[in-house]
Chain A
């Protein structure tokens, strides 16, 4: 017995803006059956979020719903209402909001008011829609918090949003939305701001609760993997219109429309990826040895500032070969960005070495070089640049030698990393000018044009300012700037995370092409495992400031050894409706495996609960050639020498 709960017909929205009337949504129709989930997928600006806001009448004041639109909603009592015709001030609408339709948002922090406790806000929803006393409402709130998997709900209920972690806040938000007993839940990118392991937990939670409560759900997301896991039906939106609409299986397995096909092609898939093979015979470019970074956190006290040291990175050891891409993955706060910045000396490492091998002039220890030496390295690295068809012949003598700041960084946010007050030409030329590498304007222009062309930036655009460009175009400018001085080593710090999938794919292709042409080495930092798998020759997994696993990409992704890596990989939702999604959950502190060295090689085992390992050192153990896993070393088998990475 299926019955339609929501039927949207010909929904068009108009926004009055300074530039005139804009229609972010045109002729959108979809319907939802009881107990089912509709996924709405689209890239940023596709109108997926506003169209559901129209259902709830939560549009900004500049918006209006066009006349011939219908939003037919069947209430719990079976009445059919056209929500587009009800005024937001109507008491009927108040009953629908929360009572009939619940909503959760992308930013769990911002969706709670900071000045009231979580419980206060949940109870508010309960008291509005259920005939219960305050005391009962509090009990329901605690019960709901328990249900969404928040431990110790009696205490948590009185806590403020800022006292909780991101994942917990989103759970609390779900508890809030469900506590007033809606029959439809609209979830607007509910897991986008969360780490992948937390996302997996929240997705599972939502799925379970939906089944338990028989609820319908509209799930808005840009992530095709997520939609494949949760949705029964899928609507693909593009520029304000639904371009394809059907069951999740049909849409994802056999897309009919070119846009959907393009979108699906662009999505990096961990279940269907051929990572680049490890490089053979390349010379070693950078050696990182026992890198550690401590941050000083200043706590203002009355008379003095107390300085607390926080370890962001400890004991990181790895190397990068010439022309190689090393992926660095991990969740937020794992220290991956810190590793990248410490290698570039954007922050000073507190211990360890970063050695940059030079063919002719000898090695330099970046970790201990003085500011002047560093500038020298960045500016006047005078060594040959053997690979790639770089038009070095156009330059001569000193100019050629002074031409090589050796390393650079591509930032995550293409908006904040470009100085809005400089032209694109000046931005790209900055590394040449700032370091004093080149003085001749014409030569600089030529170089800028060359790199711009390589990064597929329209030469016409060089005279423009960054405000003229979209995120993807800006990221190309960032890459051009990073490459203009012909560096040997570039850190890409989440450089595709802020971009839509299709643009993400273009940037990844661009980076690969450039590497093939110029032989530059990348440290590719990202939280998106699939992107990393596409581009990296080797991958390191970070957790709490440490490498937990490091090795050839294939080994890491298809034969993970460390429990954290396994959990991380299991949490990635694949864009395949048939894939089994059983994320491994890590509760509390993660335990490292124990490595025992026997005659037949190295054995990893899970420590028994009795073993107290917290004080023992953690070492990277080579389980197969080039594949290292962070383990405790079993003392009993120490007659055989543990194999830790050799770096000579």
Chain B
């Protein structure tokens, strides 16, 4: 197990390294560089005539004239060694400051969504497989189609509309007005939890649809296995049998796709955040993209991806622990 963990850990590091290169490349794509944008932002509308020499001076000042490789190492070492993601141009402060506690808000949303997803999809998927061909099963299939087809922003709008109708106006966002900029306190956390369910439901929607299908399919396969018949033949009561044998195995594919779920949630997050007015990383990411503030955008993209890679690593470990065949390498 130790060896397995070490192997996966190194694999994770390699992936993270490659990811960081890719993210850096994306940060470099927009035409022009920060010097242009910085000059434009600083002097536009002031009537000052900016010359190429001025921009060049800014470029040298910011160190943007150095080769790409040097800048990459500068950037990544800042992140790894000092937790420094560079300057946020649009906000004229450091990226770290701009991001602030939004990391924790995002983490909160992520885990609320994941927990909700698994709480719903695993039992329902198992039930649907056991009651194959029943009305419930067909209903769930129809639901999961909708889960895949309904764009999340639309769902968010509809949910907002009904939430407004039923619970009053103060439902969007992550906090009530009075807590929006308040320092952290128990009351603020409680307020956040009260607002968390809406984004969690919206984000869990498609993940639930997807996972129900996965659980149902694996469960159906497992139900037909000879080992289940064999257990039945030795007199194991049906309920215990279902839980101990097929259901236990039906969880494995869910565990192995935790990373995908996180990926899907983060993928939907920016758009859902805009609609629901969530002040967290996704929304900030979108804002940064629109402003072409690539330092902020890159930092967030890197954080989200690292989180996914890390969850993949955790899911590998969890799976190895759940399934004795994996760590022995005899799948």
Chain A min CB distance to B327 (Å)? 11
Chain A min CB distance to B280 (Å)? 36
Q: Using an 8 Å CB-CB cutoff, how does the interface string of A78-113 with B read, 1 for contact, 0 for none?
A: 000000000001000011111100110101001111
**Which of A123-131, A135-143, A207-215, A495-503 is the interface stretch?**
A123-131
Cβ < 8 Å to A, chain B residues 307-331 = 322-325, 328, 330
B71 at the binding interface (Cβ < 8 Å): no
B159 at the binding interface (Cβ < 8 Å): no
A162 at the binding interface (Cβ < 8 Å): yes
Contact A129 B328, beta carbon cutoff 8 Å: no
Q: Using an 8 Å CB-CB cutoff, how does the interface string of B217-241 with A read, 1 for contact, 0 for none?
A: 0000000011111111111111000
Q: When the two chains form the complex, which single residue of A97, A112, A114, A301 contacts B233, counting CB atoms closer than 8 Å?
A: A97
Q: When the two chains form the complex, which single residue of B225, B234, B249 contacts A97, counting CB atoms closer than 8 Å?
A: B234
Contact A302 B10, beta carbon cutoff 8 Å: yes
Contact B227 A177, beta carbon cutoff 8 Å: no
Q: Using an 8 Å CB-CB cutoff, how does the interface string of A183-220 with B read, 1 for contact, 0 for none?
A: 00000000000000000000000000000000000000
Which single residue of chain B is at the shortest CB-CB distance from A160? B324
Cβ < 8 Å to A, chain B residues 150-170 = none
Q: In the docked arrangement, what's the CA distance between A105 and B230, Å?
A: 8
Contact B235 A112, beta carbon cutoff 8 Å: no
Contacts of A116 in B (CB 8 A): 244
A644 at the binding interface (Cβ < 8 Å): no
Contacts of B235 in A (CB 8 A): 94-99, 125, 128-129, 180
Which single residue of chain B is at the shortest CB-CB distance from A120? B244
Contacts of A163 in B (CB 8 A): 328
A492 at the binding interface (Cβ < 8 Å): no
Which single residue of chain A is at the shortest CB-CB distance from B238? A89
Which single residue of chain B is at the shortest CB-CB distance from A162? B330
A539 at the binding interface (Cβ < 8 Å): no
Contact B236 A103, beta carbon cutoff 8 Å: no
Contact A124 B249, beta carbon cutoff 8 Å: no
Contact B234 A113, beta carbon cutoff 8 Å: no
Chain A min CB distance to B52 (Å)? 48
- B contact residues, total (Cβ < 8 Å): 27
Contact B328 A112, beta carbon cutoff 8 Å: no
Chain A min CB distance to B269 (Å)? 33
Contact A103 B325, beta carbon cutoff 8 Å: no
Which single residue of chain A is at the shortest CB-CB distance from B248? A115
Q: When the two chains form the complex, which single residue of A94, A113, A115 contacts B322, counting CB atoms closer than 8 Å?
A: A115
Which single residue of chain B is at the shortest CB-CB distance from A177? B234
A38 at the binding interface (Cβ < 8 Å): no
Which single residue of chain A is at the shortest CB-CB distance from B224? A60
Contact B234 A180, beta carbon cutoff 8 Å: yes
Contact A112 B237, beta carbon cutoff 8 Å: no
- A contact residues, total (Cβ < 8 Å): 34
A355 at the binding interface (Cβ < 8 Å): no
Contacts of B245 in A (CB 8 A): 113
B7 at the binding interface (Cβ < 8 Å): yes
Chain A min CB distance to B224 (Å)? 9
Q: In the docked arrangement, what's the CA distance between A105 and B237, Å?
A: 20
Contact A162 B230, beta carbon cutoff 8 Å: no
B11 at the binding interface (Cβ < 8 Å): yes
Q: In the docked arrangement, what's the CA distance between A4 and B20, Å?
A: 76
Contact A98 B233, beta carbon cutoff 8 Å: yes
Contact B227 A102, beta carbon cutoff 8 Å: no
Contact B328 A107, beta carbon cutoff 8 Å: no
Q: When the two chains form the complex, which single residue of A58, A102, A121 contacts B232, counting CB atoms closer than 8 Å?
A: A58
Given contacts A110-B226, A110-B227, A113-B245, are A128 and B234 in contact (CB under 8 A)? yes
Q: When the two chains form the complex, which single residue of A113, A114, A162 contacts B231, counting CB atoms closer than 8 Å?
A: A113
Which single residue of chain A is at the shortest CB-CB distance from B227? A113
Contacts of B328 in A (CB 8 A): 160, 162-163
Q: Using an 8 Å CB-CB cutoff, how does the interface string of A332-370 with B read, 1 for contact, 0 for none?
A: 000000000000000000000000000000000000000
Q: In the docked arrangement, what's the CA distance between A23 and B237, Å?
A: 29
Contact B225 A110, beta carbon cutoff 8 Å: yes
Cβ < 8 Å to A, chain B residues 267-296 = none
Contact A128 B226, beta carbon cutoff 8 Å: no
Q: In the docked arrangement, what's the CA distance between A487 and B250, Å?
A: 51
Q: Using an 8 Å CB-CB cutoff, how does the interface string of A399-413 with B read, 1 for contact, 0 for none?
A: 000000000000000
Which single residue of chain A is at the shortest CB-CB distance from B252? A115
Q: In the docked arrangement, what's the CA distance between A99 and B231, Å?
A: 12
Contacts of B323 in A (CB 8 A): 114-115
A54 at the binding interface (Cβ < 8 Å): no
Q: In the docked arrangement, what's the CA distance between A278 and B173, Å?
A: 91
Q: In the docked arrangement, what's the CA distance between A114 and B322, Å?
A: 11
Q: In the docked arrangement, what's the CA distance between A366 and B244, Å?
A: 55
A56 at the binding interface (Cβ < 8 Å): yes
A176 at the binding interface (Cβ < 8 Å): yes
Contacts of B324 in A (CB 8 A): 114-115, 160
Q: In the docked arrangement, what's the CA distance between A112 and B227, Å?
A: 5
Contacts of A102 in B (CB 8 A): 233-234
Q: In the docked arrangement, what's the CA distance between A176 and B233, Å?
A: 11
Cβ < 8 Å to A, chain B residues 235-264 = 235-238, 244-245, 248-249
Chain A min CB distance to B122 (Å)? 17
Cβ < 8 Å to A, chain B residues 194-231 = 225-231
Contacts of A96 in B (CB 8 A): 235
Q: In the docked arrangement, what's the CA distance between A322 and B237, Å?
A: 63
Chain B min CB distance to A300 (Å)? 9
Q: In the docked arrangement, what's the CA distance between A96 and B233, Å?
A: 9
Cβ < 8 Å to B, chain A residues 128-165 = 128-129, 160, 162-163
Q: In the docked arrangement, what's the CA distance between A89 and B242, Å?
A: 13
Most A CB contacts (10 A, CB to CB) among B7, B230, B232, B237 go to B230
Q: When the two chains form the complex, which single residue of B225, B233, B325 contacts A162, counting CB atoms closer than 8 Å?
A: B325
Contact A115 B249, beta carbon cutoff 8 Å: yes
Contacts of B228 in A (CB 8 A): 113
Q: In the docked arrangement, what's the CA distance between A173 and B234, Å?
A: 11
Which single residue of chain B is at the shortest CB-CB distance from A161? B227
Given contacts A112-B227, A112-B230, are A94 and B237 in contact (CB under 8 A)? yes
Q: Using an 8 Å CB-CB cutoff, how does the interface string of B115-152 with A read, 1 for contact, 0 for none?
A: 00000000000000000000000000000000000000
Chain B min CB distance to A436 (Å)? 42
Chain B min CB distance to A588 (Å)? 23
Which single residue of chain B is at the shortest CB-CB distance from A95? B235
Contacts of B11 in A (CB 8 A): 302
Given contacts A115-B248, A160-B325, are A124 and B226 in contact (CB under 8 A)? no
**10 residue pairs A–B, Cβ–Cβ below 8 Å:** A56-B233, A98-B235, A103-B234, A114-B323, A115-B249, A115-B323, A115-B324, A128-B234, A128-B235, A176-B234
Interfacial residues, chain B to chain A (CB-CB below 8 A): 7, 10-11, 225-238, 244-245, 248-249, 322-325, 328, 330
Interfacial residues, chain A to chain B (CB-CB below 8 A): 56, 58, 89, 94-99, 102-103, 105, 107, 110-116, 121, 124-125, 128-129, 160, 162-163, 173, 176-177, 180, 301-302
What are the nearest 10 A-B pairs in CB distance?
A: A98-B235, A98-B234, A97-B235, A110-B226, A111-B230, A103-B233, A113-B227, A125-B234, A94-B235, A160-B324
